[in-house]
Amino acid sequence: MVTHRYEPVAEIGVGGMGAVVLARALSGPSAGEYVAMKRLLPHLAQEPEVLKAFLDEVYVISAMHHPHIVESIDWGEDRDGRFLVMQFVAGDSLRALVHAREAAQAPLPTDFIAEVVACAALGLHAAHTVEAEGRELGIVHQDVSPANVLVGYDGSVKVIDFGVARILSRGEDSSTQTIRGKFGYMSPEQIRGFSLDHRSDLFSLGVVFWEALTLCRLYQAKDEFEVARLVINEEPVSPSEIRQGIDPALDRIVLRCLAKNLDYRYADGRELARDLEPFRPPPAQRAEVVAHVTRQSMPERFAWIESVTKRSLKIPPRTIEIEQPRPLRPSQNQLPVAPEHATPSAQPTQQTAAPVAFAPTPAAAPTASAAQAHQILGAPASPSAPSTQPMPSAQSTAIAPTRGSTANKPAPSAPKKPAARPMNIGVRIGALAAIAIVALVIGLVLGSR
């Protein structure tokens, strides 16, 4: 594990594809800082599909820079194999918080949940709209779950693990791709193997939202295919039917995320965050609320991190949230190429990037082919067929004032319609000739009788 640039300190966790350790940077821009270092598991390092997913993750997160997406710092290869270095988030997953609160029979505060979900929605919106190399990548996370939302003891909220993200700009045929993710958090269209867009991630975030409010699993059954059937066919109950005291407007927001019909869901993560604005803590207190609930829920984990890092965690002031991702930072270094068909002999790009983001993979994501899902679930229906009634959105509140307001500017005039072109003379003559011939034939037939 030891490289000339990073010194491992403690293991953070082991996921389906890699192990993540806490390490200290020995050189470079992050020298002296703690980072999270992810390595492919040795027995998977030579698997082409695993390698492709790893390189895709490096490519995707290196193109993003947003306060609610964990950042990448470095990547490369040494004698122990390929590695990815990410920003270390001193905290835990939303899944761990939910489990801790469930064991203590203490529901999470609704303002805390609204803040975490709004931050995750803004992070996903940044991923969905990020551009690199002069084009929009069209990223769909595909594995949004409580395990992939990190909540920091400093009040930060980060979306992590883009290892199975789909890059729509490649134009790959989704019907031939393996379905990846956790069935209980997949959208109906993802389970069916249909083409995906960013609204699939918003459905998954809706499941995370529902479970955080109720401390219950939304879709739970004896096996994954039964779970898939529930996701496609069963309408969820309102969270207020499970937990008393939830505002009806919050119910409507959750159920809108969980609409089976794509057109009834939120248009993007930013719209969802705006609807959640009335339920979030005051802007000046958001980091403090998140940090307080997280430390109170996971006191042993919080104490362990402080003891390992030998530092007292502070709560930095929350910066203004970025609704649009910044363009890719200009650099002489190029992004690592994520090949469509990676092979074990693919050579990694040797470079050191400016700070970006990333985090651990908590658990292996079950996979199934689209053909298997169709065989178990029957013939797929149209993904746009209405299955729920449209729900009104809660009153929307802007997160930040829009720059360059155009309220006082004159509205642009409507574009003029092009004048209709006269019919071609040749076409007219041909039509008249055809009519004359038909009339002549009819006359001959009648005369012969």
CB 83 within 8 A of CB 38: yes
Residues 411-419, mean pLDDT to the nearest whole number: 38
Distance CA 252, CA 139 (A): 27
Scan for tokens 């990037």, then name that residue. 353
Which pLDDT value is given to residue 303? 94
CB 225 within 8 A of CB 377: yes
How confident is the model over 337-365, as pLDDT tens digits? 433 433 333 333 333 333 333 333 333 33
Classify residue 282: in a domain, yes or no.
yes
Closest CA to 182 of 145, 156, 157, 150: 145
Instruction: Supply the residues annotated as catalytic.
Output: 143
Residues 325-343, mean pLDDT to the nearest whole number: 39
Closest CA to 152 of 94, 99, 205, 209: 94
- Which range (213-227, 304-318, 375-389) has the least confidence? 375-389
Whole-model pTM: value is 0.71
Classify residue 58: in a domain, yes or no.
no
Classify residue 311: in a domain, yes or no.
no
What is the pLDDT confidence band of residue 207, given thresholds at 50, 70 and 90? very high
Classify residue 399: in a domain, yes or no.
no
Residues 259-279, mean pLDDT to the nearest whole number: 96
The residue segments making up the domain with residue 141 are: 92-297
CB 380 within 8 A of CB 194: yes
Closest CA to 60 of 345, 385, 419, 338: 338
Determine what percent of the chain is predicted with pLDDT higher than 90.
Answer: 44
Classify residue 291: in a domain, yes or no.
yes
- CATH of residue 119's domain is 1.10.510.10
Which pLDDT value is given to residue 331? 35
Classify residue 280: in a domain, yes or no.
yes
Classify residue 435: in a domain, yes or no.
no
> Is the predicted pLDDT of residue 371 greater than 70, yes or no?
no
Distance CA 234, CA 224 (A): 15
List the structure tokens of 61.
């997160």
Read off the DSSP letter of residue 278.
G
Q: Please state whether 327 falls in left (phi above 0), alpha (psi between -120 and 50) or beta.
A: beta
How confident is the model over 157-199, as pLDDT tens digits? 999 988 888 887 776 655 545 566 688 999 999 999 898 999 9
Contacts with 99 (C-beta within 8 Å, 6 or more apart), sequence order: none
Classify residue 120: in a domain, yes or no.
yes
Torsion over CA: 317, 362, 164, 253 (sign) = negative
Report the DSSP beta bridge partners of residue 149: 159
> Is the predicted pLDDT of residue 306 greater than 70, yes or no?
yes
The number of distinct structural domains making up the chain is 1
